[in-house]
Copies of this chain bind each other. A is one copy, B any other.
Amino acid sequence: MPFKIVGVIGSSKADSELFRLAEEVGAEIAKRGAAVVCGGLTGVMEAVCKGARSHGGLTIGIIPSWSKEDANPYVQIPIVTGMGMGRNVMVVMTADVLIAVGGEFGTLSEIAHALNIGKKVIGLRTWNLAKAHTKPIPDLVEATDPKKAVDLAINSISAKG
């Protein structure tokens, strides 16, 4: 049986509050026995891996560069792509569901790729895309805290399976 995999996306720069939020997201994912996939670098990506490892979770980092040395120290499985931001597509495709924590334009590209293929995105202080669109976006749901974000994420995987 493959692991359930929750993708966590967010900026490589995170202030202390976003870092703490992402760390809690990682911890909650690990508590539920799912693996984390992320872009493998710093900021939100490092926080979520740190949180997951603190609870024995499995962490996968899909690295944009050619070097696994670029992975943050909490990544257990660095997938080396050498594809730059092209790796964002793979984070989206590998995840069963996504949680966006904060985020700038790179995160927005991942949200857009996810919505493009009908994959659910749970947001924590992330892009409020409905404001920029002419239609509601049912696959993008804002959560109020890390625990609820992970609940929504895991429920959405279970509903599919």
Given the complex of chains A and B, what is the CA–CA distance between A27 and B1 in angstroms?
A: 18
List chain B residues, Cβ under 8 A from A112: 105-106, 108-109, 111-112
Contact, CB under 8 Å: A93 / B82: yes
List chain B residues, Cβ under 8 A from A94: 68, 78-80
- Whether A104 sits at the interface, judged by CB under 8 Å, is yes
Residues of A in contact with B (beta carbons under 8 Å apart): 1-3, 5, 35, 58, 60, 62, 66, 68, 71, 75-86, 88-90, 93-94, 104-106, 108-109, 111-113, 115-117, 127-133
**Can you name 20 A-B pairs with beta carbons within 8 Å?**
A1-B76, A2-B68, A3-B76, A35-B77, A58-B77, A62-B79, A80-B94, A82-B83, A82-B85, A83-B86, A84-B89, A86-B86, A86-B89, A105-B113, A105-B115, A105-B116, A108-B115, A109-B116, A130-B132, A131-B131
